[in-house]
Amino acid sequence: MEDKQKIYDVPLHDIKEIVEVQEYSFYYLIGAIVLAVLALIVLVYLIYKYIQKLNAYNERKEHLKLLNSLDLTDTKNAAYAVSKYGITFANDGERESEMYKNITSRLEQFKYKKSVGEFDTETLGYIELYKGMIDV
């Protein structure tokens, strides 16, 4: 039996011993998953911010919509509404500021009274011109 053991104990000259090889593929997989999750979180956040920006309240846009939907046959309420919502756009430029002052001076005769008549064509023209000047 010792003879057989001697045969196996012969030293090997050309073959190197077995060496343990480090395996990092599991760590690479975990790193890739973490990066993918972070990228997904950033993408969801950016989409959320974009949708939030789209749905954000825009005072100028709302006031323009209200000015365009005014019932100009209801003279007293229309005069108050044009004064209230028109001030939003009065500081856009010198032209808009002068036009707003002109309109408010024309609308004074339709405010603060119990009963008022209809808008004259000149006042209606100024209101329509002012609405056309507005940029949102």
pLDDT in tens, 78-136: 999 999 999 999 888 899 999 999 999 999 988 888 888 888 899 999 999 988 888 87
CA distance 101 to 84: 12
Q: Is residue 49 assigned to a domain?
A: no
CA distance 64 to 44: 33
Q: Which helix (H) or strand (E) holds 123?
A: helix 121-133
pLDDT in tens, 5-24: 556 666 666 777 778 888 88
CA distance 45 to 62: 27
Contact between 85 and 122 under an 8 Å Cβ cutoff? The reply is no
| Total of domains in the chain | 1
Q: Is residue 44 assigned to a domain?
A: no
CA distance 60 to 77: 20
Q: Is residue 127 assigned to a domain?
A: yes
Q: What is the pLDDT of residue 98?
A: 93
Q: Cα torsion for 117, 123, 124, 130, to the nearest 10°?
A: -140
Q: How confident is the model at residue 49 (pLDDT cuts 50, 70, 90)?
A: very high
Q: What is the pLDDT of residue 14?
A: 72
Q: Is residue 17 assigned to a domain?
A: no
Q: Is residue 69 assigned to a domain?
A: yes
Q: Is residue 110 assigned to a domain?
A: yes
Burial of 5 (0-12, 13-18, 19+ CB in 10 A): exposed
Q: Is residue 6 assigned to a domain?
A: no
Determine the structural domain holding residue 107 and report its residue range: 59-133
Question: Which pTM does this prediction carry?
Answer: 0.62
Any residues with CB less than 8 A from the CB of 113 and at least 6 apart, and which? Answer: 76
Q: Is residue 37 assigned to a domain?
A: no
Whether residue 28 is predicted with pLDDT greater than 70 in this model: the reply is yes
